[in-house]
């Protein structure tokens, strides 16, 4: 730790001791109270006045009020200015105070939530704001998590618990978290938990939701901590009766609050426009005042002697220039009505009215949840009509995020869940084909419909590649299983893709039954088989794959892997070249139909080699420096020389009303950008399916550059093509009709180049939609 001042510590590493407030207080960690409000009683007036004076009209009228207090130049009473100024500032202040009151109310509601905290060997109800770093908290089902916790134990076997992270990442799928085996033994024993004195050394507070690194030291041993051991503030405990956790980060140090940022003063485009207009009006007023002041000085010099001498002139002294200077300010006061302060009053009233119209709009009422629209602030309502671009995620936003297994390719052979009539258009199931009969399998999922009997025939004939393919689907995943009240097997999935694949394997006779930290049990064609779980190589956005290493009952060690074909194909053994080419063609066909695809591969491992690799992995997990890099390198080392099994294809249907919504937005001249991690063919197919791309468009340009230079070169080529296209169509070309140019760029990456340059092309009106595949 390094001191930056007496009050605040600049953290490079956090050290927390369980059940020891005195030890943790010396580090001056933040408490669990949160503040999202902008003002308090003392700061409201100065801060709000400062914000309001950033409006040019308000600053102008304050300046005008000061001028009117000078008797020599004041031609109007100061009441004429102060009344409208105070009215405008008061109305805006009341609105700002109301918005901030609701923030305070929300803060108080959250800070005063109750949580069970272990204090003096007893569970006591404490307000969230009184929770301290190092405290041990008990959470119960459907309860919000009070702070960032290290999971110690839970009601579920092996220290498992399920959390919903919707408030963090918007995903409603349940995530699985698992306590360390050494702490899961503590269970719900209060005396054991009260005696727990483990020390955690971990990273400093940060906003990375998907990463955590630390080490727990307890009973003369060290245990590596990862994101799977942590429950973050904002999560909700689901399907778990209770769990205990140790507070690592509280209040503003939690990852949720680190991502929130400070409440900032926002100025809308209407405000900016009015400021600009007021500046122009004020400029006109100054010019007019100068002309009138010059005329007054000339008149004073010519015929001024015929009139009464101004009281501020000394006897025998006359200064026509000074008289003109004072006259200029008098005219500024007289002509102050040129600056429309009432415009701001009108705009505030209109904003308030619009917010109520939104709240009352019956077409924006969501009947299924009895939820009306709610305008939480009045300042941004006018921005709704000025939106030009919408950036949307695909999965779960445009699509239902409900995956269905449709097709697969195994050892170079396609097994189609649907029969395709036309190789270009989306194919339909023919009447001649009948769905595969899963009725003989008591634990099959009735909602899965697969229209290819040959896959069942291959399973029954004992095709080893088909069996290995389905075995991989049943083993390589993060799904958790449980039985409901009716005794039926139910899966809890973190990803709908995994759920679809595990369900497919289940229907074809390879049923995932249960898992523990050391084993995975599946049922293979009616025979229970337990595999020893040796290692789990988790998925992330960089690896784009996940792997599991297991030992089968015969003692053989195998690595099963699934992931993006672009990544997995690079890891294949050279002997897979022919199969890779054939499978790649199948993947392109699947992607062209809008299906989500994954490649499937495996590798047999030598026992001696694996033990050496496992020892290096244990050392890497215990490291505090460059831990992630060392683990990633070990993953890369073992995930090589894979043998390709095939590929899967699942369908994610569009949400209801997506096509109509996008069509309406397009009619409003709003440009829509869709971000997706799918293959290029899938992305283009989805674009056509949801009307972002249409057949009426002349051409589709695909930018595939990965560096700034590559993207710049492709843009130059595209620019020349468009110029030639316009010249050929119109016969002549005017440079002033071409507003596109290479402008200064905010970033150095390919993404920034694409967004800035292509938005200029769209603004030019020469391209309707551009599909960008990154």
Beta bridge partners of residue 528, listed in sequence order: 523
Query: Is the CB of residue 212 less than 8 Å from the CB of residue 225?
Result: yes
Residue 645 contacts residue 472 (beta carbons within 8 Å): yes
On whether the CB atoms of residues 19 and 197 are closer than 8 A, the answer is: yes
SS (H, E, C) 61-130: HHHHHHHHCCCCCCCCCCHHHHHHHHHHHHHHHHHHHHHHHHHHHHHHHHHCCEEEEEECCEEEEEEHHH
Q: Which of 408, 420, 459, 421 is nearest to 437 (CA)?
A: 459
Measured CA to CA, the distance from residue 566 to residue 543 in angstroms comes to: 11
Q: Which of the following is catalytic: 20, 210, 393, 606?
A: 393
Q: In Å, how far from its chain's centre is CA 203? A: 22
Question: 89-93: long-range contacts (C-beta < 8 A, 24 or more apart)?
Answer: 89/49, 89/52, 89/58, 91/345, 91/348, 92/48, 92/52, 92/344, 92/348, 93/44, 93/48, 93/52
Q: How far is residue 136's CA from residue 118's CA, in Å, rounded to a whole number?
A: 5
- How far is Cα 147 from Cα 30, in angstroms, rounded to an integer? 11
d(CA 466, CA 698): 44
Query: Interior CA angle at 665 toward 659 and 666, to 5°?
Result: 90
Q: What angle do CA 744, 747, 751 make, to 5 degrees?
A: 110
**Structure-block tokens of residue 14:** 């956090």
- What's phi and psi for 644, nearest 5 deg? -75, 135
Taking the CA atoms of 482, 484, 485 and 486 in sequence, report the sign of the dihedral they define.
Answer: negative
Q: Give which of 138, 150, 149, 166 is closest to 240, Cα–Cα.
A: 138
Measured CA distances, 549 to 230, 532, 590 (Å): 24, 9, 28
Number of H helices and E strands in the chain, helices first, is 22, 30
Q: Retrieve residue 211's tokens.
A: 């990463």
Q: Which two tokens stand for residue 482?
A: 């449980």
Burial, 227: exposed, middle or buried (Cβ in 10 Å; 0-12, 13-18, 19+)? middle
Cα–chain center distance at 268: 24
**Angstrom distance (rounded) from CA 153 to CA 240:** 11
The answer to whether residue 393 is catalytic is yes
Q: Which residues have C-beta within 8 Å of that of residue 683, sequence separation ≥ 6?
A: 674, 676, 771, 773
How far apart are alpha carbons 461 and 455 in whole angstroms?
Answer: 10
DSSP assignment of 358-412 equals HHH-GGG-BGGGTB------STTGGGGGG--EEEEESTTTTEEEEEEEEEEEETT
What are the residue numbers of the active site?
393
């Amino acid at each position: 730790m390094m001191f930056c001042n007496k009050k605040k510590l600049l953290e490079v590493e956090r050290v927390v001791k369980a059940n020891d407030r005195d030890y943790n207080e010396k580090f001056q960690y933040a408490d669990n109270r949160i503040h999202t409000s902008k003002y308090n009683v003392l700061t409201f007036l100065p801060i709000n006045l400062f914000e309001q004076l950033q409006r040019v009209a308000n600053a102008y009228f304050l300046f005008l009020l000061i001028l009117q207090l000078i008797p020599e130049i004041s031609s109007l009473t100061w009441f004429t200015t102060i009344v409208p100024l105070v009215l405008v500032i008061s109305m805006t202040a009341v609105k700002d105070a109301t918005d901030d009151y609701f923030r305070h109310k929300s803060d108080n509601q959250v800070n005063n939530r109750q949580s069970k905290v272990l204090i003096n060997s007893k569970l006591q109800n404490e307000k969230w704001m009184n929770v301290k770093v190092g405290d041990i908290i008990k959470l119960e089902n459907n309860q919000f998590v009070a702070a960032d916790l290290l999971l110690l134990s839970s009601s579920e076997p092996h220290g498992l618990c399920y959390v919903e992270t919707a408030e963090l990442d918007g995903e409603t799928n349940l995530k699985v978290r698992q306590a360390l085996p050494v702490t899961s033994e503590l269970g719900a024993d209060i005396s054991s938990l009260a005696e727990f004195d483990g020390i955690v050394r971990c990273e400093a507070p940060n906003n990375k939701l998907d990463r955590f690194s630390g080490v727990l030291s307890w009973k003369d041993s060290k245990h590596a901590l990862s994101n799977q051991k942590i429950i973050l503030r904002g999560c909700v405990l689901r399907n778990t009766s209770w769990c205990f956790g140790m507070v690592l980060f509280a209040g503003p140090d939690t990852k949720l609050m680190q991502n929130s940022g400070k409440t900032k003063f926002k100025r809308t485009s209407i405000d900016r426009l009015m400021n600009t207009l007021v500046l122009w009006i004020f400029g006109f007023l100054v010019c007019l005042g100068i002309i009138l002041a010059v005329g007054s000085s000339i008149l004073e010099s010519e015929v001024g002697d015929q009139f009464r001498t101004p009281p501020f002139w000394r006897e025998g002294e006359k200064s026509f220039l000074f008289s003109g200077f004072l006259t200029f300010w008098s005219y500024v006061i007289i002509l102050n009505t040129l600056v429309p302060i009432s415009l701001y009053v009108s705009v505030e009233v209109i904003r308030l009215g619009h917010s109520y119209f939104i709240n009352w709009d019956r077409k924006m009422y969501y009947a299924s949840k009895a939820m009306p629209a709610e305008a939480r602030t009045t300042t941004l309502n006018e921005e709704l009509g000025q939106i030009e671009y919408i950036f949307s995620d695909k999965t779960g936003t445009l699509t239902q995020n409900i995956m269905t297994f449709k097709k697969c390719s195994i050892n170079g052979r396609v097994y189609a869940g649907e029969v395709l009539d036309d190789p270009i258009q989306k194919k339909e199931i023919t009447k001649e084909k009948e769905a595969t009969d899963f009725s003989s399998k008591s634990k099959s999922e009735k909602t899965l419909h697969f229209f290819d009997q040959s896959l069942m025939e291959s399973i029954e004939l004992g095709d080893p590649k088909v069996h290995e393919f389905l075995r991989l689907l049943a083993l390589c995943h993060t799904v958790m299983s449980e039985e409901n009240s009716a005794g039926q097997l139910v899966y809890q999935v973190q990803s709908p893709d995994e759920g679809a694949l595990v369900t497919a394997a289940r229907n074809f006779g390879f049923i995932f039954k249960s898992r523990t930290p050391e084993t995975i049990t599946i049922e293979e064609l009616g025979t229970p088989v337990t595999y020893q779980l040796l290692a789990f190589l988790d998925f992330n956005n960089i690896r784009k794959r996940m792997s599991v290493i297991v030992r089968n009952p015969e003692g053989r060690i195998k690595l099963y892997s699934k992931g993006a074909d672009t990544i997995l194909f690079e890891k294949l053994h050279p002997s897979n070249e022919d199969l890779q080419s054939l499978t790649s063609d199948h993947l392109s066909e699947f992607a062209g139909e809008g299906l989500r695809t994954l490649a499937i591969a495996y590798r047999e491992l030598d026992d001696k080699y694996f033990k050496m690799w496992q020892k290096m992995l244990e050392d890497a997990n215990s490291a505090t420096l460059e831990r992630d890099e060392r683990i990633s390198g070990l993953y890369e080392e073992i995930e090589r020389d894979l043998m390709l099994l095939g590929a899967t294809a699942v369908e994610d249907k569009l949400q209801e009303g997506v096509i109509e919504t996008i069509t309406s937005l397009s009619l409003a001249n709003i440009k829509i950008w869709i971000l997706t991690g799918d293959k290029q063919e899938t992305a283009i197919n989805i674009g056509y399916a949801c009307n972002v791309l249409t057949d009426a468009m002349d051409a589709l340009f695909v930018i595939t550059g990965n560096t700034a230079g590559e993207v710049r070169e492709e843009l130059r080529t595209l620019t020349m093509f468009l110029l030639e296209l316009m010249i050929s169509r119109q016969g002549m070309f005017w440079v002033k009709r071409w507003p596109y140019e290479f402008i200064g760029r905010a970033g150095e990456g390919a993404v920034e180049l694409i967004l800035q340059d292509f938005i200029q092309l769209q603004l030019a009106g020469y391209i309707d939609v551009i599909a960008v595949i990154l």
